[in-house]
């Protein structure tokens, strides 16, 4: 069965700290991988996506993620977080045929000023 697991449920960092959020997936076909962000009171926005090519993908707002096929992982990173990065982050794996997305449980990031 397809599944996505996010290891950290709640992360608290100080501004300028580095961030890494873990994501592992289980999927039998060609994977499309995504990270979405949900700021308080808002809907989901796409941070970045991977479907082929360079396994290191860069997204908006200084975020990047690395696809490691051997580890079934797609971890999200940012070298220096800001207070405005406080949000909930979701990893998702998608089907290229149907558009279905399977989401992880989400990680709440709290950045202290």
Partner 1 sequence: NAGVTQTPKFQVLKTGQSMTLQCAQDMNHEYMSWYRQDPGMGLRLIHYSVGAGITDQGEVPNGYNVSRSTTEDFPLRLLSAAPSQTSVYFCASSWRLAGVHEQFFGPGTRLTVL
Considering the complex, state which of residue 27 and residue 103 has its C-beta at the smaller distance from partner 1: 103
Q: Taking the complex as a whole, how short is the minimal distance between the CB of residue 11 and partner 1, in angstroms?
A: 15
69 sits near partner 1 (criterion: CB under 8 A): no
DSSP three-state, residue 4? strand
Q: Give, for 20, the enclosing helix (H) or strand (E).
A: strand 19-21
Pairing verdict, β 107-112 and 10-14: parallel
Nearest CA among 68, 85, 80 for reference residue 22: 68
Q: Taking the complex as a whole, how short is the minimal distance between the CB of residue 17 and partner 1, in angstroms?
A: 24
Q: Taking the complex as a whole, how short is the minimal distance between the CB of residue 113 and partner 1, in angstroms?
A: 25
Pairing verdict, β 45-50 and 56-58: unpaired
Q: Which stretch binds partner 1 (CB under 8 A): 14-22, 36-44, 54-62, 72-80?
A: 36-44
DSSP three-state, residue 71? helix
44 sits near partner 1 (criterion: CB under 8 A): yes
Task: Give me the residues that bind partner 1 (CB under 8 A), please.
Answer: 4, 6, 9, 30, 32, 34, 36, 42-46, 49, 51, 90, 92, 94-96, 98-106
């Amino acid at each position: 069965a397809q599944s996505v697991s996010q290891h950290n449920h709640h992360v608290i960092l100080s501004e300028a700290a580095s961030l890494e959020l873990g994501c592992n997936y289980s999927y039998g076909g060609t994977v499309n991988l995504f990270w979405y962000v949900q700021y308080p009171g808002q809907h989901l926005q796409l941070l970045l996506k991977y479907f082929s090519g360079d396994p290191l993908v860069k997204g908006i707002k200084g975020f990047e993620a690395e696809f490691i096929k051997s580890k079934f992982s797609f971890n999200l990173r940012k070298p220096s977080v800001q207070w405005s990065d406080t949000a909930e982050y979701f990893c998702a794996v998608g089907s290229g045929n149907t558009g279905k997305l399977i989401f992880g449980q989400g990680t709440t990031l709290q950045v202290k000023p």
